[in-house]
Amino acid sequence: MASFETRLFINNEFVDAKSGEYLTVYNPVDDSLVSDKISSAGEADVDAAVAAAKAAFKGDWGKTDPTVRAKKMRQFADMIREKAEEIAGLDTKTMGSAIGTQAMGYGVCADLFDYYAGLADKIHGETSYPTSAGKYKITQREPIGVCSGIGAWNVSAVLFGWKAAPALAAGNTFLYKPSEKAPLGTLALGALIKEVFPPGVINIVNGGGKTGQLMAAHMEIRQIAFTGSTATGRKIQEHAAKSNLKRVSLELGGKSPSVIFEDANLNLAVEKSMEGILANTGQICAMASRVFVQESISDKFIEGLADGFKKVSSGDAIGDPTLKTTHIGPIADKKQYERVMELIEVGKAEGKLVTGGVRRGKDGLYVEPTIFKQTPNTSRIVQEEVFGPVVTVHTFKTEEEAIEMANDTVFGLSACVYTESISRALRVTRQIEAGTIAVNDWYFPGPDTPFGGIKQSGYGREGGLEGLIEYLQTKTIQININTTT
């Protein structure tokens, strides 16, 4: 008997999938089977989840006062915090990310529920002063109805919280599909959801791409928030367009530049670049995977980064992800590992390997933190998302050249700029094409500000007030006040 939940969570009950289909997950540390009995939702299951969400929206939840919704959300946040480590362990088991990283993800998820609970009773409209024609107009922001989310596997808890928390604060009901690589942690939240929310308010439908497709094409889901690759994002948009034109927001891939000028604090730039490249084993959408360093400091920077990477490779920061001392675990699964190694071979063929570039150890899907230099900008390793602990370092002479190189990508998710000059920081951040930019830091999203991309990194925002507005629709009401004539 598995010590974790593997069924779907619909209408506050764990249920077997009517589809009779199951997902299988392995532990990337030793390739051992975690479970081959994870229910995978088919059409009838997704329909049941939508029906439950619809009934909850039309019933109690849709009519609940915002302050009551907020109270329940805060209660849920506290419960997540209490269980964070235990639940995080389930994701670590299936996708190998360090327990500390995943537990922090559940902490962020709890923070998101607290943050959006605070906004639940602050949803206001506007008033337009009437003209002589006597038309008095007000706008009100209303919930959309049945909303949904599909998540990637890298930080399941954060991706769930980014979507579910604002959806609920706005008064909607919700269904969520976690990735087939990391469904167990999200599923475990079902037991907590049941204690706090009425039936149907949050439903969890596991499954692979087929389940996601059923959601994106569903005629009664009014909105879908997607986090994942750009390729799948395109499909989501297509399914939405071909079905009921549901609202879509897309948090997609990135190939984020980090631009380091010669006046930067070099130690800080090295330290923050290490964080930005190695966090979650490089499996972060906003990772600083293309570094551009001004020529005069490039040797020193590369030396510092390579030393740092070598220390990580030889120490206990990389290894068993269930240990609290570990920061870097294995790559999530075989498919992902093979992709990382394939792109590393491209880097070796087209650029110069500085350090890493090999599998670490014989067991487990571990990759040595890797640096390439002198890779042409057209190389796949520079243009495609690796989603592993791999960085390409490039050099530039002038500010203009740095900006041009940084923007030479189809992505526009995030960026970093290192300089001691405030005017340069403001000048450069203005010209870099990205949804979020950190100065003298690596960008780490928080609940209070919007996160999201431009260009092929998607559209829509998660976090902050903008994240709430994604789950509201505006109604304008016009009142004729000239009724006496």
Shorter beta-carbon distance to ligand NAP: residue 317 or 454: 454
Q: Is the dihedral of CA 457, 459, 460, 464 positive or negative?
A: positive
Question: Which residue reads 């960026």 in tokens?
Answer: 415
Question: Considering the rule CB under 6 A, would residue 84 count as an interface residue with ligand NAP?
Answer: no
Q: How far is the CB of 428 from ligand NAP (least distance, A)?
A: 22
**Of the residues 5, 180, 251, 433, which is catalytic?**
251
List, in sequence order, every beta strand (DSSP E) within 205-253.
223-227, 247-251
Q: Is residue 152 part of the contact set for ligand NAP (CB under 6 A)?
A: yes
CA distance 276 to 270: 10
What tokens were used for 356?
Answer: 């890493």
We find the least distance from the C-beta atom of residue 46 to ligand NAP, in angstroms, to be 11
Question: Cβ closer to ligand NAP: 288 or 402?
Answer: 288
DSSP letter at 378 equals T
Alpha helix stretches (DSSP H) within 315-397: 334-350, 380-383
Q: How far is it, in rounded angstroms, from Cα 194 to Cα 110?
A: 16
213 binds ligand NAP (CB under 6 A): yes
Antiparallel, parallel or unpaired: β 257-260 and 32-40: unpaired
Which one of the spans 89-97, 227-235, 264-272, 423-431 is the region binding ligand NAP (CB under 6 A)?
A: 227-235
**Closest residue to ligand NAP in the complex (CB):** 212
Applying CB under 6 A, among 216, 403, 415, 434 the residue interacting with ligand NAP is 216
Binder among 111, 114, 180, 470 for ligand NAP (CB under 6 A): 180
Q: Are 74 and 41 in contact (CB under 8 A)?
A: no
Q: Which of 156, 179, 313, 392 binds ligand NAP (CB under 6 A)?
A: 179
Q: How many C-beta atoms lie closer than 10 Å to residue 242's C-beta?
A: 10
Of 157 and 269, CB closest to ligand NAP = 157
Catalytic site includes residue 275? no
107 near ligand NAP, rule: CB under 6 A: no
Nearer to ligand NAP, 270 or 285 (CB): 285
Q: Which residues within the stretch 379-418 sit at the binding site for ligand NAP (CB under 6 A)?
A: 385, 387, 413
Q: Which of 382, 361, 358, 380 has its CA nearest to residue 370?
A: 358
Tokens of 324: 């609290």
Q: Which is nearer to ligand NAP, 154 or 419 (CB)?
A: 154
Of the candidates 332, 61, 40, the residue with the CA atom closest to the CA atom of residue 177 = 40
**Which residue in 186, 227, 280, 370 binds ligand NAP (CB under 6 A)?**
227
Q: Which of 418, 357, 345 is nearest to 384 (CA)?
A: 345
Q: Taking CB under 6 A as the rule, does residue 212 contact ligand NAP?
A: yes
Is the separation of the CB atoms in 116 and 73 below 8 Å? Answer: yes
- 210 three-class SS: helix
Q: Does 154 bind ligand NAP (CB under 6 A)?
A: yes
**Interface residue with ligand NAP, options 208, 220, 247, 383 (CB under 6 A):** 208
Query: For residues 387 and 391, what is the distance between their CA atoms, to the nearest angstrom?
Result: 10
228 binds ligand NAP (CB under 6 A): yes
**165 vs 236 by CB, closer to ligand NAP:** 236
- Going from the C-alpha of 281 to that of each of 241, 365, 390, the distances in angstroms are 35, 11, 9
From 49-57, 103-111, 188-196, 248-256, span contacting ligand NAP (CB under 6 A): 248-256
CB of 134 to ligand NAP, least distance (A): 47
The encoded tokens of residue 393 equal: 């370092």
Chain CA centroid to CA 55, Å: 29
Smallest separation, CB 222 to ligand NAP (Å): 17
Q: Please, are residues 184 and 94 in contact by the beta-carbon 8 Å criterion?
A: yes
Token couple for 484? 């006496």
Q: How many C-alpha atoms does 245 have within 13 Å on its Cβ side? A: 0
Which one of 254, 276, 308, 347 is in contact with ligand NAP (CB under 6 A)? 254
Minimum distance, C-beta of residue 435 to ligand NAP, in the bound complex (Å): 9
150 touches ligand NAP by CB under 6 A:
yes
Closest contact distance (angstroms) between CB of 355 and ligand NAP is 24
Which stretches of the chain bind ligand NAP, using CB under 6 A?
150-154, 177, 179-181, 208-209, 212-213, 216, 227-229, 232, 235-236, 251-254, 285, 385, 387, 413, 453
Active site residue ranges? 251
